[in-house]
Chains A and B, each alone.
Chain A
Amino acid sequence: MTLGLTHFLVLSTLLFCLGLFAMLTRRNAVAILMGVELMLNAANINLVAFNKYVAPGALNGQVFALVVITLAACEAGVGLALVMSAYRNLETVHVDEINVMKW
């Protein structure tokens, strides 16, 4: 059994679902962000793997993986800034406690 596309897809699926699980269940906003990072990485694995196994002629998959990494950095920066701001104003980072706008 040689290494094939499916291996990577399985890995990325599991990673993605773990990230989704974190997003669904964690209360801490930072933990949710980590879940997002996992999901983004899963997507990146897919991008690079498809690039190699489906369209090796061009490097678009890797290029997009790099773009995703960049955007992940942006997302982490802005997201963590929001977390800091929320913590400063509401003294909690638990998303179910940030509910001042709720009815």
Chain B
Amino acid sequence: MRELAWLIPVLPLVACALIFAFGPRLPGRGAYVAIAGIGLAALLSIGIFVEGLGGAKAHELNVRWVPYGQTALDLGLRVDNLTTVMLLVVTIVGSMIFVYSVGYMHDDPRFSRFFAYLSLFAASMLLLVLANNLLFLYAGWELVGLCSYLLIGFYFEKPSAARASMKAFVTTRVGDLFMFLGILLVFFTLGTFRFEEIFAKVHAGALEGMMVGGLPLLTVVAVLLFGGAIGKSAQVPLHTWLPDAMEGPTPVSALIHAATMVAAGVYMVARTYLLFFESPGHGALTVVAWIGAVTALMAATIAVVQDDIKRVLAYSTISQLGYMMLGLGMLGYAAGMFHLMTHAFFKALLFLGAGSVIHAMHTNDIKAMGGLARAMPSTYWTFLIGTLALAGVPPFAGFWSKDEILLEAFHHHRGLYAMALAAAFLTAFYMFRVIFYTFAGTTRSHHAHPHESPAVMTRPLWVLAVFSAGIGLVGAPFLGNPFHHYLHFEGLKAPAFSWGVALAGVGASGAGIAAAAAVYHWKVVPSGALRRAAGPLFTLVAHKYYFDELYAAAVVRPTLAVARALRTFDVYVIDLIVNLFGFAGLGLARLYRVFDLYVVDGAVNLLGWIAQTAGGVLRYVQTGRAQNYLLAIALGVIVLLAAGLFR
């Protein structure tokens, strides 16, 4: 079945092409085609995964693409355990979101196009996941970025959406530049793009001892590649695009900005983990870990003060991605990937639930909601399950994965452990803040008449809820941690389960829930007082640590200023020169025109006149009567005969 892996990205791609070609004339205005594409891909992925459980070997499919000197660029796919896990996540979460979108986007005039974009996105993501070399991973990476741009800007008539899509595209591009440099560095030093060959050479010490600017080459390469992950996975300092990306339709937020695309950065780090691992003194991993920890904590603090339900979730996503990075950086390869998987399910669930709420309330502001638990029971219960999973309450999925990361951090670096624990507390706090604001109490909006969403939206929610609740068990230590057996990095051994760490983690979550309940449900401490007490810290957080302002001042404005200066130069100097040449050409052309008109044309006309006049005279010879010509022939014969006779 692994030989058929190439079909997985092709199916959604075909669906995309069909929808682009035939659009609304397809069944379900194209939605069914898209769902069929991703659904078949999901079935294939499940088949491949089951095969992997049976212990199937990694499979590579290589098609010679471009000969390049001694080496060749191959169109290659690789199916191994890491890939199968990602395939499962992408296709299953993806198909749920596709189904959900049928209901959510139902009244949108660009319904078919939306599904085409979704299918294209799924195809690119699957290409990214299946690529067996850096080049194709990069291609999928950029395609995913393109789809992200298209989908964030799906409501392009809204200026904020257009700006957000631009911002997302440009910001991630900064990271991609570093990644591209890293890829080039790999290729120029090792001469190949293929992961297998890269790993083999690095393992054999091909880059050992090489230095770049006083740093070990391998570390530089790994950090450069990680630069791409920072952009794509919205790590500090390139995280600012993700909250803005919430301008897109909610299923897009769920699919791209929670479950799959942002996970691409994590996946990429995991895919090239050997480079990070082999960097001298785990230097690169340390960078990853610190960035991840800072991101996790900082995003969590910002999430606490957000009132827009999707933004809360967006910052939560950033925070959780930081967690994953932290896990990877703390040598928790399996832990990071495990968290990626569980997070994909419950974050998708949360986003879809949020979408359901927005669908019902027509607003994003949690302070305008309230008391929705009665009106929308399905949404409420599934959202609650997602929240519990995210908060890390056992036995829901988030607990198991988060616990592993905390365990790794605890074993490797206490400072980072503390940050992670704080982030866990904050996570539980802000998520329950949302719950209390949204579902508990009574509605604060008087002109809204909330109602439960249609079945096509709630059923995916329930499916995802089941996953969110249960998927964590595959990593449960008392079950022997089967996930760890399935997916692990050679040479790394996970630390043993520790009741202390687990209780600390649950404790942090519980404390967060309790604090949220105290502030927003029982109102023991009014939130306004809390805000005043925090003072400047609150201001700092509320302004998202001034990142956007900093970028505006440091990057955007200088760039714009330079652009304006250049424009001025262009308009007054370069254009002047060009215009001068233009005027000179024009003058010459006028001269030539006179020459043309009176000399060249005159000669041509003279010849024409001569030909015409000659023809006019000669046409009297052309009688059109064969008998005249015959007489001429006879005379000719006479002349010839006479010439022959009287020679």
Contacts and interface: CB of A to CB of B under 8 A. Distances in A.
B214 to A, nearest CB: 94
Given A20-B634, A24-B634, A99 B624 contact: yes
A88 interface: no
Nearest to A32: B627
A32 B625 CA distance: 13
Contacts of A25: 627
A23 B634 CA distance: 11
A102 B622 CA distance: 9
A101 interface: yes
A47 B622 CA distance: 36
Interface string A2-37: 000000000000000000100111000000100000
Contact of B625 (A20, A23, A96): A96
Contact of A24 (B623, B624, B630): B630
Contacts of B626: 95
A95 B626 CA distance: 8
B627 A95 contact: yes
Nearest to A17: B634
B630 A23 contact: yes
Classify chain A's interface size: 10 to 19
Contacts of B623: 102
Contacts of B204: none
Contacts of B631: 24
Interface in B504-541: none
A103 B615 CA distance: 12
Interface in A36-91: none
B25 interface: no
Contacts of A20: 634
A102 B623 CA distance: 8
Interface string B606-647: 000000000000010011111100110010000000000000
A55 to B, nearest CB: 24
A33 to B, nearest CB: 13
Contacts of B624: 99, 101-103
A63 to B, nearest CB: 27
B636 to A, nearest CB: 13
Nearest to A20: B634
Nearest to B631: A24
A20 B637 CA distance: 12
Contact of B627 (A24, A99, A103): A24
B633 to A, nearest CB: 10
A76 B152 CA distance: 87
A101 B631 CA distance: 21
A25 B625 CA distance: 12
A95 B619 CA distance: 19
A95 B625 contact: yes
B615 to A, nearest CB: 10
A24 B625 CA distance: 11
Interface of A: 20, 23-25, 32, 95-96, 99, 101-103
Interface of B: 619, 622-627, 630-631, 634
Give 5 closest A-B pairs by Cβ, nearest first. Answer: A102-B624, A24-B631, A96-B625, A24-B627, A99-B624
7 contacts: A20-B634, A23-B627, A24-B630, A95-B627, A101-B624, A102-B623, A103-B624
Given A32-B627, A103-B624, 11 more contacts: A23-B627, A23-B630, A24-B630, A25-B627, A95-B627, A96-B625, A96-B627, A99-B625, A102-B624, A103-B619, A103-B622
